[in-house]
Amino acid sequence: MRKKVKLSLIENATTRRKTFLKRKEGLLKKVDELATLCDVKACAVVYSPYQSTPEVWPSREGVEEVVSNFMECSVRERTKNMVDQETFVRQSIAKENEHLNKLREENRNSQIKEFMFGCLEGKMEAHHLDGRDKRDLKSFVDKYLNVITHKIEILTKNGESSSSLPPLIADAAAPINLNQNPNVEEHEDILSMENNHQEPVTARLAALTIADADVSAPNNTKKL
Amino acid sequence: MRKKVKLSLIENATTRRKTFLKRKEGLLKKVDELATLCDVKACAVVYSPYQSTPEVWPSREGVEEVVSNFMECSVRERTKNMVDQETFVRQSIAKENEHLNKLREENRNSQIKEFMFGCLEGKMEAHHLDGRDKRDLKSFVDKYLNVITHKIEILTKNGESSSSLPPLIADAAAPINLNQNPNVEEHEDILSMENNHQEPVTARLAALTIADADVSAPNNTKKL
DNA sequence: CTGTCTATAATTAGCGG
DNA sequence: ACCGCTAATTATAGACA
């Protein structure tokens, strides 16, 4: 499997040169596209140990024009929209961290959902929940129940006001029969629940609501 | 389906601005990566109507350093590795055309293969072949037959010299029975034929070889 | 307009010739 | 070294908030 390259100096000289040539190509293409699509003046200068003279885009004159315009600004002006490399990298890192946190969030949510549905199939014993897990699970179950309750209300009202649509949903007190499809791999997202699991699940969910999901000392250990 | 953007000035100003912002980001990131991965000095200057001062990477000093190095070269030197935009675009077009031709080639090959296998299932009547089609089909069939013949030779020799491996392939003179799997969708590539179709097909293919695949006036019409 | 999301297009790392 | 290929990563167009 192709590995995701680490963003740091490529040690192997052959590889480094190859990468350089490929990426320089790509870069010049990007500059060209940017200029063409958006009608802006731009230039790039790349100064490598592989060629005695720097390579530039779009042409010597083009570079000189852009650069002289740049040089004409006062230093104050020049500095205004400037991104120095350190700031740039810091910003990139910040962005990546944000993204990472989002992924962690998603991941945790999936685990909780997985666990919740696992419980409904009676596989509760395998996990040890700490305080945070319990709190999050409770809030997840609550959210789920709210959605279901809301749906039931809507549909009940519809069923009463207009008998033309047959009630789509079983009464919440109806007997529960979950295991008809015992190996469900994907559980639908709670916010986009269509019409699969939610009806007969209700009562069980309510029963499942964790009794002591309260206030143990906050504990950030991630295991769930 | 997201459409492949046409490489020309974006008419809609809002879209153009959005594209500009996104692509400028991407571009600066690429410059950063190139410099980091390959340890080269590089800079980019983008001069847009959206900001009063040009945006640069990696920093004012960085740009000035790279640019002054550039300016120090004699004009002759400067011009050496220069790519002016016109040449650049011409090269891009040439490359794209090459690619296009390769795709045409592939496409034609697929059609011929498709047709050949179609014939083996008796669906020959639907097509009208011109001279070129016939020639290409003949050469395709010949190639195919060569591969098969070669395989048979190899395997026959193996079978004789060492009876430990049972012959994997039927004798070419054996009765033909193609239609056991009548709706084959994918035919394996002729160069990587493993062990599916080729054996019983041989004799039929030979019989199919187009009688008059010869020398009608060259005709470039593409229909097959 | 500015930002987020997602499906698709584009780039490119690693490999084999 | 340089090409071409393909599978993987990355960029981004377009839709939406």
Report d(CA A124, CA A110) in Å as an integer: 16
d(CA A19, CA B40): 12
Helix (H) or strand (E) holding B123: none
Pair B155, B147: CB distance under 8 Å: no
Q: How far is CA A197 from the centre of its chain?
A: 25
CA-derived radius of gyration, chain A: 30
> What is the dihedral angle through the alpha carbons of A164, A170, A174, A179, rounded to the nearest 10 degrees?
150
* Interface contact A77, partner B, CB < 8 A: yes
**3-class DSSP assignment, residue A151:** helix
Q: Indicate the average pLDDT of chain B.
A: 72
Contact at 8 Å (CB) between A34 and B61? no
**Per-window interface: B 15-34 vs A, CB < 8 A:** 16-17, 19-20, 23-24, 26-34
Mean pLDDT of A41-50: 85
Nearest CA in chain A to B80: A53
Rounded to whole angstroms, the Cα distance separating A93 from A98 reads: 9
A13 touches chain B (CB under 8 A): no
Instruction: Determine whether the interchain pair A54/B34 forms a contact, defined as Cβ–Cβ distance below 8 Å.
Output: no
A88 contact B CB<8A? yes
Report if pTM > 0.85: no
Q: What confidence tens digit (pLDDT) does each residue in A176-187 have?
A: 444 444 444 455
Residue carrying structure tokens 């669906």 = B123
Q: Distance between CA B57 and CA A84 in Å, rounded?
A: 7
Select the residue of A30, A49, A53 nearest B77 (Cβ to Cβ).
A53
Substitution target in B20, B41, B70 with the highest count of A β-carbons within 10 Å is B70
User: Beta-carbon neighbour count of residue A63 at 10 Å?
Assistant: 23
Give CA–CA dist A124/A221, Å, rounded.
20
| Three-class secondary structure of residue B38 per DSSP | helix
Residue of least CA–C1' distance to C3 = B18
B3-19 pLDDT, tens per residue?
Answer: 899 999 999 999 999 99
Residue nearest to nucleotide C1 (CA to C1'): B14
Sheet holding B41-47, edge to edge: A55-57, A41-47, B41-47, B55-57
CB-based contact B57 A83, cutoff 8 Å = yes
How many Å from the CA of A30 to C1' of C11? 10
| E strands, B48-129, in order | 55-57
Task: Decide: CB of B215 under 7 A of nucleic strand C.
Answer: no
Q: How does the average pLDDT of chain A come out, rounded?
A: 72
User: Which of B5, B23, B28, B40 to substitute to test the interface with A, most A CBs within 10 Å?
Assistant: B40
Pairing of strands B55-57, A55-57: unpaired
pLDDT for residue A26: 95
3-state per-residue secondary structure call for B129-197: CCHHHHHHHHHHHHHHHHHHHHHHHHHHHHHHHCCCCCCCCCCCCCCCCCCCCCCCCCCCCHHHCCCCC
Lowest mean pLDDT among A116-130, B53-67, B134-148: B53-67
Residue B153, pLDDT > 60, answer yes
